[in-house]
Amino acid sequence: MNYIGKKLKSLRQELGLTQTEMAAGVISVSFYSKVERGLNDIGVNDFLDILQKHNVSPQNFFGDYKLEKDNKRKVTMLMHKFVRAAYNNDENEINNIIVELKQVKPRTAFIKFSIVQAKLIKNTNNINKIKSLNKNQKNELKRAIFQKDTEENEYHRIILIANIIQIYSLEEATFLMNSILRRYQKIDNLDKKLMLALSVLIVNYVDWCYRRNKIELCYKPLRYLERLPNDIELAFTKIMGLYFGELINGHKKKGEQIKEILYESGYKSIVKRMNK
C-alpha cells in the first residue's frame, strides 16, 4: 500500500493541496498523513471518495506506471548532465537541458521540482550571478530549497544547495553543512546518487571556505569526503577533495600537480576557475 500513499502524495503536490485539503473530510488528516508515509492502509471506499472529491478517476490516478518510472530515470539522467554543465559554465548545454526537461510529460511534482531547480542553478551558477542577487531574491532561493513536500527529492535539494551555497553567509552555510553531514553520518545506508550530491556540496563549500581563508572549516567536510567509497562516480569530487587537502596542509606543490593532471585530462575550464 506504500505505492498508493506515494501516488496520493504525488497527486496532492500536483494539485497544490495541503494534506487537510486532500483528505477532504473523508478521513482524518492524521490518518491521511500516515497513508502518505506508508504507515496506514486506506480502505477502498475512502480511497475512491478522495479521488472523487478531486475529480480524478482511478484510471488517471494509476496512469502508466512504466511511463512514470521511465520519466524519472530520464529526468535523473538529465540532472546529472545539468550539474556537469553548470560546473563548466556551459550556458548552451544548460539551456538545452532545461528545454528537454520541459518536454517530459506528464509533468509530475518530481519533474516540476527538477525544472525549478535547473532554472535556479542557471541563474546562480557562478559568483558574478550570485553577487547580482538582491536580498529578496536570495531569501526566495532559500525558501525554494526548503519548500514543503520535497523530501523525496533530497538528491536534487542537496545539489541545489551545493550550487547556490554562496547566497548564505559563511555562518549559515557552515551550520547547513554540519547539519547535512550529521544527517548522513551512516554512509553505508546512502545510495550512490546521494553520495555524489553530498560530495559536490562538500567540494563547493570547501572551495568557498578556502577562498575566504577559513581553513579550520575545511577539515570536517574533507574527512567526510574521504570516508565515501572510492567509486568511479565519485572519482572527480574525491580528486578535488585531495587537491584541497593538499592545499590546506601547506602542500601547494602537490596541489599544483593535481591541477596539471586535471588540465591534461580535459578539465581546462574547471582548472581555470580553481583558486582564481
Residue 127's pLDDT is 59
Quickly list H helices, the chain: 2-15, 19-23, 29-36, 44-53, 58-62, 65-87, 91-102, 109-122, 127-131, 135-145, 154-164, 170-183, 192-211, 219-227, 235-248, 252-264, 268-273
- Is residue 151 scored above 50 in pLDDT? no
The residue extents of the domains of the chain are 2-63, 64-148+155-167, 184-276
The CATH number that domain 2-63 falls under is: 1.10.260.40
39: cell is 504507515
pLDDT, tens digit (0-9, with 9 covering 90-100), for 18-61:
899 999 999 999 999 999 988 999 999 999 999 999 888 887 78
- Is residue 203 scored above 90 in pLDDT? yes
Residue 149's pLDDT is 45
Residue 130's pLDDT is 61
Averaged pLDDT score across all residues of the chain: 83
